Amino acid sequence: MRGAVAAQPRGNHRRGLSIQLAVNIAVLASIYALIGCGYVLIYRTSRVLNLAHGELMMVAAYLLLATASLFSGHPLAAFAASALLGLVVGAAVYLVLMRKMTGERVLAAVLATVALGILLRGIVVLVWSAQQQYPGQALGWSNPALALPGGARISAAAAALVLTTAAAYAGLFAFLRYTRWGIRMRAAGQNPLLAAQRGIRLHGVYALAWGLSTFTGGLAGMLIALDAGLEQTMVVIGLKAFPAALVGGLDSLVGAIAGALIVAAAEVLLIHYVNPLLADVVPFLVLIAMLLARPWGLFGTREELDRV
């Protein structure tokens, strides 16, 4: 393999590079968007900021390890089972813990999610130990790289992630627009009191929102774990996706996509052309700029500000 780094013609090389950068932006934006829609779903329906989202998504990814040994030889079945378990875990978290926090101060509810996060991290160490895990290996699935036109490349897991994000958003839009439960969820988010008076069971709707949020977050967690392995720092990735959701507007799914694209593009381009060290702060700098200029986000609803 040595010496194979053949020099490409310069112009061709530039075009290849820009396509690769576009692919990188798409992948990173998909990660942020798929994680971010979990924040949006919960915030939009129940006005709670879920800071345990990273932990919940990590738990779903770890559950993949468990289901992988349960359904050995059927990677897709294991994947689906783990995603559904994520849904159940999310709904259970609402019913057991967060239900009691409705009507409490904003900070108390946020802190409850933080406490939940600490608890979940402890449980994960307890069950799976702190070391690096590879769910891909447990599933018997290797992660080949796919060549794209223009010389760009993408790993299969990352490609799956982009497609899953697209499918998840399409599904969520359809769900919220056309299904009975989706309309209930929107109603509960817009005016809980009126919704309750019209006979919508708020707790059921909120539990569903938590379930769906953990489900989508879990999909992201599992795909990241398949791409790069799994350990405790996945929590921080969950937190890094949060600025993206906020830039777009915490109560807008379209906003989550737009925010993810903006933050991802800023991050990838700054890493490439300015300084890789900036990667850590860029999402938060974009966030500060947004909060000062348009606190409710690109697509958020303005009245939200006074309600919080």
Residue numbers 78-137 binding other proteins by CB under 8 A: 97, 100-101, 104-108, 110-112, 114-123, 125-126, 129-132, 134, 137
Q: Pick between residue 116 and residue 262 the one whose CB is nearest to other proteins.
A: 116
| Shortest Å, Cβ 278 to other proteins | 9
| Shortest Å, Cβ 229 to other proteins | 7
- Site size with other proteins, rule: CB under 8 A: 88
| Contact residue for other proteins among 149, 199, 292, 303 (CB under 8 A) | 292
Q: Pick between residue 4 and residue 193 the one whose CB is nearest to other proteins.
A: 4
Give just the sign of the alpha carbon dihedral 211, 215, 216, 218: positive
Q: Pick between residue 77 and residue 143 the one whose CB is nearest to other proteins.
A: 143
Q: Pick between residue 2 and residue 180 the one whose CB is nearest to other proteins.
A: 2
21 in contact with other proteins (CB under 8 A): yes
- The contact mask relative to other proteins for 237-276 (x = CB under 8 A, - = no) is x-xxxxx--x---x----------------xx--xx---x
Q: Pick between residue 77 and residue 285 the one whose CB is nearest to other proteins.
A: 285
140 in contact with other proteins (CB under 8 A): no
17 in contact with other proteins (CB under 8 A): yes
Q: Pick between residue 53 and residue 121 the one whose CB is nearest to other proteins.
A: 121
| Shortest Å, Cβ 181 to other proteins | 26
